[in-house]
Amino acid sequence: MQTRKQRGRPMAAAATALALAGVVLSPVTAQAEDGTELLTNPTFDGTLDPWWASEGVEFTEAPDGTLCGVVPGGGNQWDVIVGQGGVPVTAGDTFTISVTAAASPEASARVMVPDPETEWPPLYYADITLRADGQTFTEAFDIAADAESEVQLQLGGNAEDFELCLDEVSLLTGGEVEEYEPETGPRVRVNQVGYLPDGPKNATLVTDATSPVAWELRDSAGTAVASGETTPEGTDPSAGLNVHTVDFSGVDATGDGFVLAADGEESYPFEISATIYDQLRADSLGIYYTQRSGQEIVPVEVDGEQLKTEYARPAGHVSEAGGDDVNQGDVNVPCLPPEGAVDNSGNAQLGGDDHYGENGWACPEGYAIDASGGWYDAGDHGKYVVNSGISVYQLLSTYERSLYADTVSDGALGDSTLVIPERDNGVPDVLDEVRHNLDWMLSMQVDDGVEMTIDGEQYDAGGLAHHKLHDIAWTGMNLLPHEDPMPRYVHRPSTAATLNLAAAAAQGARLYADHDQAYADELLDAARRAWDAASAHPDIIAPDTNSLDPNPGGGPYNDSSVGDEFYWAAAQLFLTTGETEFADAVQSSPYHVGGAEGDIWRATGFDWGFTAAAARLDLATVPNALPGRDAVVDSVIEGADRHVATQQDEPFGHAYDPGDYDWGSNHQVINNAVIIATAYDLTGEAQYRDAALETFDYVLGRNALNNSYVKGYGTQFSQNMHNRWMASADRLPPHPDGMLAAGPNSAIQDPIAQEKLQGCAPQFCYIDEVDSWSTNEMTINWNAPLSWFASWADDVANAGGDVIADACTAELTVHSDWGSGFHATVRVTAGDAPLSGWTTSFDLGQATLANGWNAEFSTSGSQVTASDAGWNGTMAEGGSTEFGFVGSGAPPSSIPVACSAG
């Protein structure tokens, strides 16, 4: 464990060098009072020797004895180093390092003791800021291994040249290592963004008290607007804290600057407003633009103003492998070779034989694909079909919900709602954004006729999808995508990746049909090819490359069970086509309602590794003619009931109680809220709305750490998420607002978390540091449920409690059926309120729409959407109207019709 201290410390300099205030520091003797100095010439007395510096950086002595020189900007952090070797360190011993230096302008640096046995992690490192007025950084730390190492001061990667003056860099034996204690702020924990006027309003008080405690809600002027007593909850095992609940749901005051006071503490301020999620809807979707690969990120003009200027960067990975550019991909990317792969420095790396076994995979000679584009998956530069699949699904579902749900804000997900270059093109912006990644997924599909050897068998691999694309070895931090020098390879196809492509492309086919029919056709063709290929090769499993390769260069996304992916892909293909083949595959799946694996509602929700819930949710909400669909709807409500029960039992009010918290726990919390929110969409019952909203309070600050896990939202929020090209150096773009941090992870796999969080209660297993990749990474699949939930929450903000689940109802009657066609009418009836505009949707199964009357029609395969014709859109309470159509082919035995207002 270690503690880091950085404080101002004055230094003096001559006018010919960097101007610094203060006095010259006295040299540290070899036998200092507080330990033995392990470095030679730690105070740079007249010379750099025996220190060394990167080529091109020269230091001269200032009159005060400091050494000063100009450090060039740009490049990577490790491009400019001042270091000293021959430093012995011993496992279990404690050391104290200190750096006294100044920089003008201010600059970032990293002080490090490398591990000579591995490139990463080092034995010790700390990121520090060098300021113009001089400062001293001091830290005590433990060493985990014996080594003959060195001390490095890494100075590259800053936005511009800076002048550096070195006064002292010292490494002493001994020192007191303090325990890490997170800053948790006031003991009253609230949703730091706020609460809806008609929604639940609950908070958590951390206290030693065992009896009720008085609380008071104060407005921005400090005036009490409500008061009451807390409800003691006892010790929350997920936090290790004694807590009380504060329920102020009865408050009807609105505004900003509210604080909740209890037990001598005041919470962070918050709003009570119906608009608290307006911006989050857009921001949570907006992070995908900055994750784009293969495209320059440019400012976007909105109403005459240039926005997103701070995120601008060159396009990454638009070069050819083997070319002269720094990037070695993603144009004409080859397969990972069986053996003989090397990194950009010529160091040998493991190849396909090591990952897949001998004869596990062989591509045709000269095989390469253009896999530029897509989204970078997370904090690295890799791109993965499996994780892309679930991310595309949830973003498309965010949009698809707006077509069918009763509580929808008109136009909120339409064109010009996001700050992306494609705005104002007549297409909903979320579809524009998703298309960038869907196009990449299509590029990862093997062309028909390509012979590959997989697990010793040679066959036509056409239709299969490559599992992933990434660097041959891990790169360092502070690395913009266009600066990545590593060779890149595509990895072996997998059944899981192929089914992810089938599901995502099939869903996309029905949603893009109204905007680009040719593209929708291309997607559906790819989905069918993927389904056929996966069905023919159902057991191509992606291995856990992390366990096989000490430096794999990317994540494994290994998935040894693909039955849930078959269920999901079949569901999406059925919802788009209505075809019997896919209906049969859905109903025969063990993951379907009543199947051997049909109980799919897990404490940890759903994610890329378990997608059965993605199938079930869409089968329940997207209009379709699947036999037994009522049981599907009931099963979603049953799953929501389980999560509601958990939510009501949790002292912090969130629907998550798996015991230990998983990697990416925040997105699991949100996905459980998504299931509950879907039950609200299906029933209109306020209990589901309230449980979903209260669960989200945890994400925005009502938690043990008193931290909002969404960048830019709340008073204390995560802002140092693990990402190679954002925020970790001055020259890099910041993390965009709306980005979700991974969240507490009981396994604490990274060195920072292992160092500081040992023995943590689950909710405390998180640290907002850029190098804590196991607790603080960002990923596309973690922001995806945030986008769905933020959109849902903003839609229901003004809905109150129970809503009319059916603003209108519709009933379809087939009047005549002549085998090759039929005639039907649909009667639309207003609910318990006047209706101004209506939209219906239904699935004709194997049949298609030939023509119709008294409505505006659009189709996507067997899916039909019919909206009012204008003159028949307005109806009084209980009023009705009728439209009709002629279908081609035989009608299904039952055709349910969904109806919504607007």
Task: Report residue 10's pLDDT band, with 50, 70 and 90 as the boundaries.
Answer: very low
What pLDDT, in 10s, does the model give residues 446-481? 999 999 999 999 999 999 999 999 999 998 888 899
Average per-residue pLDDT for the chain: 92
Instruction: Write down the pLDDT at residue 859.
Output: 87
Q: Kindly provide the b/e burial profile for residues 111-120, where b requires at least 16 CB atoms within 10 angstroms of the residue's own CB.
A: bbbbbeeebe
Residue 193, CA distances (Å) to 220, 252, 625, 708 in order? 15, 17, 41, 9
Domains of the chain: 3-173 (2.60.120.260), 188-272 (2.60.40.10), 278-742+777-796 (1.50.10.10), 808-901 (2.60.40.290)
Least confident of 12-16, 679-683, 694-698: 12-16
What pLDDT, in 10s, does the model give residues 300-332? 999 999 999 999 999 999 999 888 899 999 999
Higher per-residue pLDDT: 347 or 425? 425
Instruction: Write down the pLDDT at residue 27.
Output: 31
pLDDT at 586 over 90: yes
pLDDT at 29 over 50: no
Which one-letter amino acid corresponds to residue 715?
A: T
What pLDDT, in 10s, does the model give residues 724-768? 999 777 778 999 999 999 999 999 999 899 989 999 999 999 999
pLDDT at 381 over 70: yes
405, with CB counted inside 10 A (0-12, 13-18, 19+), is buried
Instruction: Write down the pLDDT at residue 799.
Output: 67
For the chain, what percent of residues have pLDDT higher than 90? Answer: 79
In contact, 847 and 888? CB cutoff 8 Å: yes
Tokens of 513: 């049909």
Task: Report residue 34's pLDDT band, with 50, 70 and 90 as the boundaries.
Answer: low
pLDDT at 22 over 70: no
pLDDT at 866 over 60: yes
What pLDDT, in 10s, does the model give residues 759-808? 999 999 999 999 999 999 999 999 999 999 999 999 999 765 555 456 78
Q: How far apart are CA 323 and CA 343, in angstroms?
A: 15
What pLDDT, in 10s, does the model give residues 829-860? 998 888 888 989 898 988 899 999 999 998 87
Least confident of 316-320, 345-349, 394-398, 824-828: 345-349
Instruction: Write down the pLDDT at residue 132.
Output: 87
Q: How far apart are CA 257 and CA 424, in angstroms?
A: 36
Helix axis angle, 495-512 relative to 563-577, nearest 10°? Answer: 20
Instruction: Write down the pLDDT at residue 802.
Output: 54
Give the list of residues 6+ apart from residue 727 with CB closer than 8 angstroms, or none.
719, 720, 721, 733, 734, 735, 770
Instruction: Write down the pLDDT at residue 33.
Output: 52
Q: How far apart are CA 533 and CA 452, in angstroms?
A: 13
Average pLDDT over residues 823-831: 92
pTM for this predicted structure: 0.84
Instruction: Report the catalytic residues.
Output: 768, 777
H-run or E-run covering 666: helix 665-683
Instruction: Write down the pLDDT at residue 754.
Output: 93
The 10 Å Cβ neighbour count of residue 758 is 12
Q: Kindly provide the b/e burial profile for residues 500-510, where b requires at least 16 CB atoms within 10 angstroms of the residue's own CB.
A: bbbbbbbbbbb
pLDDT at 543 over 80: yes
Helix axis angle, 612-621 relative to 665-683, nearest 10°? Answer: 20
Which one-letter amino acid corresponds to residue 694?
A: E
Least confident of 57-61, 223-227, 560-564: 57-61
Residue 229 gets which letter from DSSP? E
Average pLDDT over residues 255-275: 98
Higher per-residue pLDDT: 893 or 235? 235
Q: How far apart are CA 551 and CA 118, in angstroms?
A: 9
Q: How far apart are CA 154 and CA 157, in angstroms?
A: 9
